[in-house]
C-alpha cells in the first residue's frame, strides 16, 4: 500500500513526509483492517510533523480523521462486518482501569493511545486499528464530508459543550478553520449567537455565510459582550482578547493541543468568576454524541480535496492559513 511516512520531525517546508510503498497491515484478533477512502488533515498533524508536541512513535503514518470501508475483521471483533463504512478518530484506546477512566474522564487517561500519534494513522491506503477506535458513521454524507467530523467536529463539540452556552447566549470563536466552522453550525441550530474573530477576510466571509452576527479581527471590539468564548487558533495572546470581551462568569475554552505562550493577564480580567479551561482530547461518548447530532442535523463540512500524495503541500497550506475550512486527503 502507499502511505506518507514521517521518519524524522522537521519543518513542513522541507517535505518531511515520505511517500512509501508498505506491506498491507496485518490485523490481530481484536483489530479491523480498513480500506481508507478519505482522511481529514488536522492542525494536530502539523504540530506532530514539526514536533511542536513531542513525538511518541517513529516512523509514523499521521492522520486521525479516517473514513473507510471494513475489509477484514479479527476473530474477536464484535458488531463490525466487511463492507461497512466506518470512521476512526483521534482517541484510539484507553486503559479502562485508571481513576480517570473509572470516573468517565477517559480523555485524561494517562495510558491513552492516539491515532496517527501512538499508532499508525490514515495518511495511507489502508489502516489496521483496534475495534474500540472504530465507529459507524451517519448516513447522507460524502466521504470527504464525514472526515472532518471525526476530530474537527468532535473536539469542537466538546469545546462547545464545555463553554456552557445555551439558547440566547453569545459565543465568541477565535480562529475559523475546520472545528470552528462546524461549531458555528451547531450553535446556530441551538439558537446561540456567534461572533467570530479571525484575521482572514475569506474566513470572515465564510463565518457570515454560516450565520455569524459579527466577524472581524481579534482587535475589533464586538457589538456586545460574550457569554463564553472558544479559542481554536494556537495563539496564546488571544486569551487576553477573549477575556476582555467576556461577561462576568464566562469561560474561555482553549480547544487546541498546542498554543504559543499566554501573555501576562491582569487579575481584573479574571475577576468576576471568569475562567480559562483547556480541552484535552475527547471521550468516546463525545464521538457518539457528535455523530448522532450529525445524523439528526446535517452539518455542512466545507472541504477542499487533495490527493494523498500532496500531504506535505496541504500541511504547508494549513500552516499559512490558506485552507478555507477542512482539507481532506483521498488515496
Domains of the chain and CATH, by start: 2-150+283-330 (3.90.180.10), 153-278 (3.40.50.720)
Closest CA to 303 of 41, 118, 54: 41
Please report which confidence band the pLDDT of residue 324 belongs to, taking 50, 70 and 90 as the band edges. Answer: confident
Contact 173, 203 (CB under 8 A): no
Q: What is the dihedral of CA 161, 189, 89, 234, to 10 degrees?
A: -60
Q: In the predicted model, what is the mean pLDDT of residues 75-91?
A: 96
The three grid cell numbers given for residue 30, joined into one nine-digit string: 481484536
Average pLDDT of the residues in 85-103: 96
Q: How confident is the model at residue 325 (pLDDT cuts 50, 70, 90)?
A: confident
Nearest to 57 by CA among 99, 120, 108: 120
Read off the pLDDT of residues 151-169 as tens digits, 9 standing for 90 and up: 999 999 999 999 999 999 9
Q: What is the pLDDT of residue 59?
A: 97
Pairing of strands 251-254, 66-73: unpaired
Phi then psi for 162, rounded to 5 degrees? -65, -25
Nearest to 52 by CA among 315, 324, 323, 328: 315
pTM score, two decimals? 0.93
Residue written as grid cell 463490525: 80
Tens digits of per-residue pLDDT, 172-212?
A: 999 999 999 999 999 999 999 999 999 999 999 999 999 99
| Residue predicted with more confidence, 34 or 324 | 34
Task: Identify the bridge partners of residue 278 per DSSP, sorted by sequence position.
Answer: 254
The SS3 of residue 297 is coil
Distance CA 277, CA 264 (A): 16
Amino acid at each position: 500500500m502507499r502511505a506518507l511516512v514521517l521518519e524524522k520531525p522537521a519543518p513542513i517546508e522541507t517535505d518531511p513526509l515520505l511517500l512509501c510503498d508498505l506491506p498491507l497491515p496485518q490485523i490481530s484478533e481484536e483489530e479491523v483492517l480498513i480500506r481508507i477512502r478519505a482522511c481529514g488533515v488536522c492542525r494536530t498533524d502539523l504540530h506532530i510533523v514539526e514536533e511542536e508536541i513531542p513525538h511518541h512513535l517513529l516512523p509514523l503514518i499521521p492522520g486521525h480523521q479516517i473514513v473507510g470501508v471494513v475489509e477484514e475483521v479479527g476473530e474477536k471483533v464484535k458488531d463490525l462486518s466487511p463492507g461497512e463504512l466506518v470512521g476512526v478518530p483521534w482517541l484510539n484506546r484507553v486503559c479502562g482501569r485508571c481513576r480517570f477512566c473509572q470516573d468517565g474522564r477517559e480523555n485524561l487517561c494517562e495510558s491513552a493511545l492516539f491515532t496517527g500519534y501512538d499508532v499508525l494513522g490514515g495518511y495511507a491506503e489502508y489502516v489496521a486499528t483496534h475495534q474500540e477506535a472504530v465507529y459507524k458513521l451517519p448516513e447522507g454524507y460524502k466521504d470527504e464530508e464525514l472526515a472532518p467530523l471525526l476530530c474537527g467536529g468532535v473536539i469542537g463539540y466538546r469545546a462547545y459543550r464545555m463553554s456552557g452556552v445555551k439558547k440566547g447566549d453569545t459565543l465568541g470563536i477565535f480562529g475559523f478553520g475546520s472545528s470552528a466552522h462546524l461549531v458555528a453550525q451547531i450553535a446556530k441550530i441551538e439558537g446561540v449567537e456567534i461572533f467570530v474573530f479571525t484575521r482572514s477576510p475569506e474566513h470572515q466571509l465564510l463565518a457570515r455565510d454560516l450565520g455569524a452576527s459579527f466577524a472581524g479581527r481579534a482587535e475589533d471590539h464586538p457589538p456586545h459582550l460574550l457569554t463564553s468564548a472558544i479559542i481554536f487558533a494556537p495563539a496564546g495572546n488571544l486569551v487576553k482578547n477573549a477575556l476582555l470581551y467576556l461577561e462576568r462568569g464566562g469561560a474561555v475554552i482553549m480547544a487546541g493541543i498546542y498554543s504559543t505562550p499566554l501573555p501576562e493577564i491582569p487579575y481584573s480580567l479574571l475577576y468576576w468568576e471568569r475562567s480559562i479551561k483547556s480541552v484535552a482530547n475527547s471521550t468516546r461518548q463525545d464521538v457518539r454524541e457528535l455523530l448522532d447530532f450529525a445524523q439528526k442535523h446535517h452539518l455542512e463540512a466545507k472541504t477542499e480535496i487533495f490527493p494523498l500524495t500532496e500531504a506535505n503541500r496541504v500541511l504547508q497550506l494549513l500552516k499559512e492559513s490558506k485552507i478555507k475550512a477542512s482539507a481532506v486527503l483521498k488515496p
